[in-house]
């Protein structure tokens, strides 16, 4: 539609250690009668905060959110990450040029906080980015757990006297059909030892970002001490950290200095965490990726060499369709199974008999909207 605007939740107070939840703030039908589908959520934190001793780095302001969960009505958690990790996942999905970073917060009483932490659901690097968007009738709630000020602070900054409010914005579009969307999940997994990560998977892994979240100011600790890495279950060769950085930079069109020279945009920092040495991208969705890409393995083992301990990984998986969501959507809109079509980059078509169960378990379907 030509008139673009986000839907907005009510405001709720930020309080250390509390969990606030947002329900039913996005209508299921749009102004033109179509089905509302959410492309991105933005977690907004506004108000004032007193900062002592040293400035509070803008890249660390998302740490005021201890944890964020985006949950569907079936109970599936599409996002379950700390505020710090949401920032890294969001930059990987959108690209640093579309990211809105908070500026550094100076020392002083009642300093302004105006955080806009984006949680993209659509994935711009794919052939069909909106395959991953979430219909408003599928979203159950957004839950935000507020961090303590002492835990949120980084470097030598001391935080106090928070007077903050939280609300959520939803960017969306309308669709004139009923689509059963592809679902992904982004969570965090800690390394099982200093140099090894093992975890069970439920789908094809399309993202694996290694990082270290701690109280180092500036978006987490450096991971440049990692020498090389290998994903054993996928049979990848042993590649150096710089090999991974180069491949990511080439795919994301990051030049030598354009996003790594400390430049600012309107006073905000403008640095890609991979180019800063804060993230090692072992797996990421390349430009033009498909929901069918990637080999499914039951477990994944990552081995690294180097001198960095306390690592964790932000893992993004493309999951099989949730039967509960499928059934509820079909019942809500009175979908006739005979009208279902598989959505592809070229066009919608019936599911070919030759396609495997893996394809049909992740590809989006559509039916007429009644």
Residue 139 lies in a domain: yes
Contact 69, 79 (CB under 8 A): yes
315 and 331 assigned to the same domain = no
Q: Is residue 331 part of a domain?
A: yes
Mean pLDDT, rounded, of the chain: 91
Looking at the fold, whether 251 and 112 belong to one and the same domain comes out as yes
Q: Measuring CA to CA, which residue among 3, 62, 21, 17 is closest to residue 168?
A: 21
Q: Is residue 339 domain-resident?
A: yes
What are 191-230's pLDDT values in tens digits? 999 899 999 999 999 999 999 999 999 999 999 999 999 9
C-alpha 367/C-alpha 341 separation (Å) is: 6
In this structure, the answer to whether residues 295 and 345 fall within a common structural domain is: no
In a domain? residue 1: no
pLDDT of 352 strictly over 80:
no
Are residues 311 and 333 both part of a single domain?
Answer: no
Q: Does residue 260 register a pLDDT over 80?
A: no
349 pLDDT tier (thresholds 50, 70, 90): low
Region 141-161: what's the mean pLDDT? 98
- pTM of the predicted model as reported, rounded to 2 decimal places: 0.93
Residues 257 and 362 in one domain: no
- Residue found under tokens 């999951």: 319
215 and 333, same domain (yes or no): no
Number of domains in the chain: 2
- The verdict on 274 and 303 lying in the same domain is yes
Who contacts 368 (Cβ-Cβ below 8 Å, separation ≥6)? 177, 178, 339
Q: Both 295 and 181 in a single domain? A: yes
Residues 85 and 147 in one domain: yes
Report residue 370's pLDDT band, with 50, 70 and 90 as the boundaries.
Answer: confident
Domain that holds residue 286: 7-319
Confirm whether 88 is domain-assigned: yes
**Could you tell me the CA-to-CA distances from 217 to 59, 125, 196, 302 in Å, in that order?**
8, 30, 26, 27
Examine the domain organization and report whether 239 and 331 are in the same domain: no
- Residue 274 in domain: yes
Position 124 pLDDT exceeds 90: yes
Return the residue matching tokens 């030049």.
Answer: 255
Same domain, 204 and 158: yes
The reply to whether 2 falls in a domain is: no
Per the domain annotation, does 343 fall within a domain? yes
Whole-number pLDDT of residue 327: 86
Alpha-carbon radius of gyration of the chain:
21
Q: Same domain, yes or no, for 338 and 207? A: no
319, 334, 359: which is the final residue of a domain?
A: 319
What CA–CA distance (Å, rounded) separates 80 from 70?
A: 7
């Amino acid at each position: 539609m030509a008139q673009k605007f986000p839907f907005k939740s009510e405001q709720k107070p930020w309080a250390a250690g509390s969990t606030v939840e947002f329900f039913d703030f996005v209508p299921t039908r749009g102004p033109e009668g179509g089905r509302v589908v959410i492309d991105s959520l933005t977690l907004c934190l506004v108000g004032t905060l007193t900062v002592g001793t040293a400035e509070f780095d803008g890249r660390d302001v998302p740490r005021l959110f201890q944890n964020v969960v985006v949950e569907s009505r079936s109970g599936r958690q599409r996002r379950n990450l700390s505020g710090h990790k949401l920032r890294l996942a969001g930059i990987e999905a959108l690209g640093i040029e579309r990211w809105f970073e908070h500026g550094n917060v100076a020392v002083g009483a009642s300093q302004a906080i105006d955080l806009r932490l984006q949680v993209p659901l659509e994935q711009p690097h794919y052939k069909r980015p909106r395959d991953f968007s979430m219909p408003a009738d599928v979203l159950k709630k957004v839950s935000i757990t507020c961090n303590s000020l002492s835990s949120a602070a980084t470097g030598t900054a001391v935080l106090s006297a928070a007077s903050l409010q939280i609300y959520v914005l939803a960017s969306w579009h309308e669709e004139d059909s009923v689509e059963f969307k592809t679902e992904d999940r982004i969570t965090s997994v800690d390394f099982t030892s200093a140099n090894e990560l093992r975890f069970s998977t439920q789908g094809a892994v399309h993202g694996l970002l290694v990082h270290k979240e701690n109280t180092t100011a500036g978006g987490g600790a450096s991971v440049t001490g990692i020498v090389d890495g290998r994903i054993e279950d996928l049979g990848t060769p042993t590649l150096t950290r710089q090999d991974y950085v180069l491949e990511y930079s080439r795919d994301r069109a990051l030049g030598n200095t354009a996003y790594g020279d400390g430049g600012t945009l309107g006073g905000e920092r403008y640095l890609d965490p991979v180019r800063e040495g804060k993230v090692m991208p072992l797996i990421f969705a390349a430009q033009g990726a498909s929901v069918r890409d990637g080999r499914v393995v039951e477990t994944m083992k990552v081995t690294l060499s180097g001198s960095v301990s306390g690592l964790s990984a932000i893992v993004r998986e493309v999951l099989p369709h949730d039967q509960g969501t499928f059934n509820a959507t079909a019942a809500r809109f009175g979908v006739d199974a005979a009208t279902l079509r598989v959505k592809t980059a070229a066009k919608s078509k019936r599911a070919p008999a030759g396609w495997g169960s893996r394809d049909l378990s992740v590809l989006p379907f559509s039916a007429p909207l009644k």
